């Protein structure tokens, strides 16, 4: 695989990042994951906008223009012959002698991008069977709207889910669901799509934004508000969204079937609309 590191395209085993990189030592880095369908990049503008926002919240600049970032995405897709898959991008505050205080503002950032080929991303069998989740307390830091690489708690959540024989964990705080370990969470009740409102408590999903816009265009009712686990278990449907899963039905929460216990029509319709529309808008 060819990866991108600080201006160079290199075979992955020749790519190097300093042991003093602040991404490595302090999780002082932000990232984006963008999907590729038919060799084209999905929702690129949204991901770049969020990258700029995450960087700004942490006092970092964009490492380059959106156009230059798009060129790197395209180059990696071409060099690695990606038809379906993901592009991972990470920007850290760079390498400096270990100190909690940020290094000088002119310290060069570390910019890394790589691809992951994922055949069957769009045709995922799980879209037909649905996924099962458990709930766990949300023990992440308070600025989940910044997409930092501090992913240890979400990793622990995925492992707890795996140990419980399910696919993911929904996190709960102050009695309400925040989101999944790497996705936004939704329920459907009496035809209304309910998903948590934006704030510092959740990541502002790029897929979420697109799906809610498509839902509104299709005259579906949407409520952006917090919901409880009990409400989710009593819902007609549940689903998640993310760049890598698009729209994926959730059929069981803590052992309780949601609705019929089968993937529901609202999630199926939104998945279809999302895939159609985002394929058309892909770059």
Nearest to 51 by CA among 91, 102, 85: 91
Shortest Å distance, C-beta 140 to ligand PLP: 8
| Per CB under 6 A, 136 contacts ligand PLP | no
* Minimum separation from the CB atom of position 184 to ligand PLP (A): 5
Considering only residues 205, 249, 259, 263, which one is a binding residue for ligand PLP as defined by CB under 6 A? 205
d(CA 244, CA 241): 8
Q: How far apart are CA 64 and CA 180, in angstroms?
A: 31
Which CB atom, from 206 or from 273, has the smaller least distance to ligand PLP?
Answer: 206
Q: How far apart are CA 41 and CA 225, in angstroms?
A: 30
Q: Which is nearer to ligand PLP, 54 or 182 (CB)?
A: 182
Told to judge if 40 belongs to the known catalytic residues of this protein, a careful annotator would answer no
Position among 92, 115, 148, 184 found at the interface with ligand PLP (CB under 6 A): 184
Pick the closer one to ligand PLP by CB: 95 or 115.
Answer: 115
Q: How wide is the angle at C-alpha 1 spanned by C-alphas 61 and 116, nearest 5°?
A: 70
Per rule CB under 6 A, is residue 183 in the interface with ligand PLP?
Answer: yes
Q: Among 217, 239, 216, 214, which residue's Cα sits nearest to residue 227?
A: 239
Shortest approach of ligand PLP to residue 9 CB, angstroms? 25
Cα–Cα dist 194/196, whole Å: 7
Tell me: does residue 179 bind ligand PLP (CB under 6 A).
yes
Give yes or no for residue 185 binding ligand PLP (CB under 6 A).
no
- Minimum Å distance from CB 243 to ligand PLP? 3
Q: Does 85 bind ligand PLP (CB under 6 A)?
A: no
Cβ of 147: how many Cβ atoms within 10 Å?
25
Q: Are strands 221-224 and 131-137 parallel, antiparallel or unpaired?
A: unpaired
Q: Check binding of 21 to ligand PLP (CB under 6 A).
A: no
What residues does 117 pair with on adjacent strands?
Answer: 85
Q: Return d(Cα 246, Cα 240) in angstroms, integer.
A: 8
**Cβ closer to ligand PLP: 122 or 234?**
122
Q: How many other CB atoms sit within 10 Å of the CB of residue 115?
A: 21
Answer for the pair 197, 208: CB distance below 8 angstroms, yes or no: no
Q: How far is the CB of 14 from ligand PLP (least distance, A)?
A: 28
54 touching ligand PLP, by CB under 6 A: no
Report how many helices (DSSP H) and strands (DSSP E) the chain contains, helices first: 8, 15
Token digits of residue 38? 């038919």
| In the complex, minimum distance from the CB of residue 183 to ligand PLP, in angstroms, rounded to a whole number | 5
**Selected range binding ligand PLP among 22-30, 96-104, 116-124, 204-212, rule: CB under 6 A:** 204-212
Closer Cβ to ligand PLP, 9 or 153, answer by number:
153
Q: Which residue has the tokens 């012959």?
A: 81
- Tell me: does residue 198 bind ligand PLP (CB under 6 A): no
CB nearer ligand PLP, residue 90 or residue 183:
183
Q: Which residues are catalytic?
A: 147
Site of interaction with ligand PLP (CB under 6 A):
33, 179, 182-184, 203, 205-208, 241-243
């Amino acid at each position: 695989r060819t990866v991108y590191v600080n201006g160079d395209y290199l075979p992955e085993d020749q790519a190097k990042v300093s042991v003093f990189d602040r991404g490595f030592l302090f999780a002082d880095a932000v990232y984006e994951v963008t999907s590729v369908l038919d060799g084209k990049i999905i929702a690129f503008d949204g991901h770049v906008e969020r990258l700029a926002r995450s960087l700004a919240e942490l006092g970092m600049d964009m490492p380059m223009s959106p156009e230059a970032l798009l060129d790197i995405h395209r180059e990696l897709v071409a060099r690695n012959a990606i038809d379906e898959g993901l592009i991972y991008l990470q920007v850290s505050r760079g390498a400096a002698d270990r100190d909690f205080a940020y290094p000088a503002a002119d310290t060069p950032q570390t910019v890394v991008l790589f691809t992951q080929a994922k055949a069957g991303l769009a045709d995922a069998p799980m879209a037909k069977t649905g996924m099962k989740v458990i709930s766990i307390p949300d023990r992440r830091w308070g600025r989940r709207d910044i997409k930092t690489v501090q992913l240890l708690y979400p990793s622990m959540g995925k492992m707890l889910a795996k140990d419980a024989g399910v696919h993911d964990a929904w996190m709960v705080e102050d009695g309400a669901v925040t989101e999944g370990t790497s996705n936004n969470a939704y329920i459907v009740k009496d035809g209304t799509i309910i998903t948590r409102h934006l704030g510092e408590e959740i990541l502002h999903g790029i897929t979420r934004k697109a799906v809610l816009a498509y839902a509104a265009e299709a005259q579906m009712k949407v409520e952006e508000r917090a919901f409880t686990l009990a409400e989710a278990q009593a819902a007609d449907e549940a689903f998640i969204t993310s760049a890598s899963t698009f729209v994926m039905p959730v059929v069981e929460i803590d052992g309780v079937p949601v609705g019929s216990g089968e993937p529901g029509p609202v999630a199926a319709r939104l998945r279809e609309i999302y895939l159609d529309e985002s394929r058309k808008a892909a770059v």
